């Protein structure tokens, strides 16, 4: 892998991989959810297949983020609040960032390949391939689904939250019951809505560079309403799966997400006035509520 030579490059490495708080907590939750749903014991988490799956998931979550920052430099330069991403990518070097992202995804694929070779579980490898494919389709021309409206939100949402859950589960056990499929699909749908919501402050920069996200296509208020409707559907599926699996403990897992949805809906009046939420406020004040929800979902199988 390319070597980091300076302390500023290390800070840029952190920014490239979107490791600002609270995002790393979310990534860890997505990486371990599936393993916990399969077997919520410390011994199972420390078993080699689970450790390989968790490591692969983390790489498959952060590597595409570095890829996204590298290919989005022109757009981020136009953004009043996200110029620091373009700055980090420029100092780190776009080619270097792409090399890192590629190496990390290859390392992740090698980890899940080891699960197949060592334990005969090949669905994690197929799932990892699907994650890589979805993220490449999202970020890379000629498809670059990010500029194709809701299709981009779906590709990114499913690849960053739903499929990692499936990968972790199938690394621990082969059979996937209906309750887990509901959780996986619900997580993907929930993440799709959140991805559309997350892009609300990017409308001006995306418009200037021809990135036709849902906000650019439909406007602030319609996109926020659509994002909330998608998140509600995802939360319903996720809660249904958790309820079938853990009963009343599922309420613990969905409570914070319901509060997050309420906070997102509260942004509708300003969206109707054409005033998007600020990216910094979304990251520091609104998203931590969703992060709490991710942590509580991880807690549910441990206490149920």
Tens digits of residue pLDDT in 221-244: 999 999 999 999 999 999 999 999
Residue 1 above 60 pLDDT?
A: no
Is pLDDT larger for residue 1 or for residue 209? 209
pLDDT of residue 5: 45
What local confidence, expressed as pLDDT, does residue 4 receive? 44
Q: What is the rounded CA–CA span in Å between residue 181 and residue 241?
A: 8
Averaged pLDDT of the chain: 92
Does residue 2 surpass a pLDDT of 70?
A: no
Q: What is the pLDDT of residue 133?
A: 98
**Residues sharing a CB contact under 8 Å with residue 128, sequence separation 6 or more, in sequence order:** 56, 60, 108, 109, 112, 167
Average pLDDT over residues 5-14: 71
**C-alpha dihedral sign at 161, 167, 169, 174:** positive
200 burial type by CB count under 10 A (0-12 exposed, 13-18 middle, 19+ buried):
buried
Burial class of 247 by CB neighbour count within 10 A (0 to 12, 13 to 18, 19+): exposed
CB 76 within 8 A of CB 208: no
Q: What is the rounded CA–CA span in Å between residue 192 and residue 157?
A: 4
pLDDT digit string, tens, across residues 42-52: 888 999 999 99
**Range of lowest pLDDT (53-57, 116-120, 205-209):** 205-209
Average pLDDT over residues 266-279: 88
74-108 pLDDT, tens digit each? 888 888 888 888 898 889 888 999 999 999 999 99
Provide the percentage of residues in the chain whose pLDDT is more than 70.
97
Residue-level pLDDT at 3:
47
What pTM value is reported for the model? 0.93
Q: Using a pLDDT cut of 90, give the percent of the chain over it.
A: 74
173-187 tens-digit pLDDT? 989 999 999 999 999
C-beta of residue 26 within 8 angstroms of C-beta of residue 44: no
pLDDT at 132 over 60: yes
Measured between alpha carbons, how far is 287 from 293 in angstroms, rounded to an integer? 10
Over residues 185-226, the pLDDT tens digits come to 999 999 999 999 999 998 888 888 888 899 999 999 999 999
Residue 6 pLDDT class (50, 70, 90 cuts): very low
Six token digits for residue 7: 């302390």
């Amino acid at each position: 892998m390319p070597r980091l030579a300076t302390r500023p490059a290390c800070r840029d490495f952190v920014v490239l991989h979107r490791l600002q708080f609270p995002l790393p907590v979310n990534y860890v939750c997505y990486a371990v959810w599936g393993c916990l749903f399969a077997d919520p014991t410390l011994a199972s988490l420390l078993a080699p297949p689970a450790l390989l799956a968790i490591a692969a998931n983390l790489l498959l979550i952060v590597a595409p983020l570095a890829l996204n920052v590298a290919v989005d430099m022109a757009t981020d330069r136009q953004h009043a609040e996200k110029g620091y991403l373009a700055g980090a990518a420029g100092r780190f070097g776009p080619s270097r960032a792409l090399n890192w992202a590629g190496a990390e995804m290859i390392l992740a694929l090698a980890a899940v390949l080891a699960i197949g070779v060592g334990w005969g579980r090949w669905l994690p490898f197929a799932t990892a391939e699907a994650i890589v494919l979805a993220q490449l389709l999202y970020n890379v021309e000629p498809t670059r689904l990010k500029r194709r409206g809701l299709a981009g939100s779906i590709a990114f949402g499913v690849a960053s939250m739903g499929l990692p859950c499936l990968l972790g589960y199938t690394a621990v056990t082969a059979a996937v019951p209906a309750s887990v499929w509901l959780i996986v699909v619900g997580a993907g749908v929930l993440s799709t809505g959140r991805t559309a919501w997350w892009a609300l402050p990017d409308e001006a920069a995306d418009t200037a560079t021809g990135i036709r996200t849902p906000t650019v296509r439909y406007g602030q208020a319609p996109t926020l309403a659509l994002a909330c409707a998608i998140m509600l559907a995802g939360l319903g599926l996720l809660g249904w799966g958790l309820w079938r699996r853990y009963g009343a403990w599922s309420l613990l897992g969905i409570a914070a997400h319901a509060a997050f949805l309420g906070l997102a809906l509260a942004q509708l009046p300003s969206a109707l006035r054409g005033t998007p939420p600020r990216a910094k406020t979304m990251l520091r004040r609104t998203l931590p509520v969703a992060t709490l929800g991710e942590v509580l979902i991880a807690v549910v199988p441990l206490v149920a």
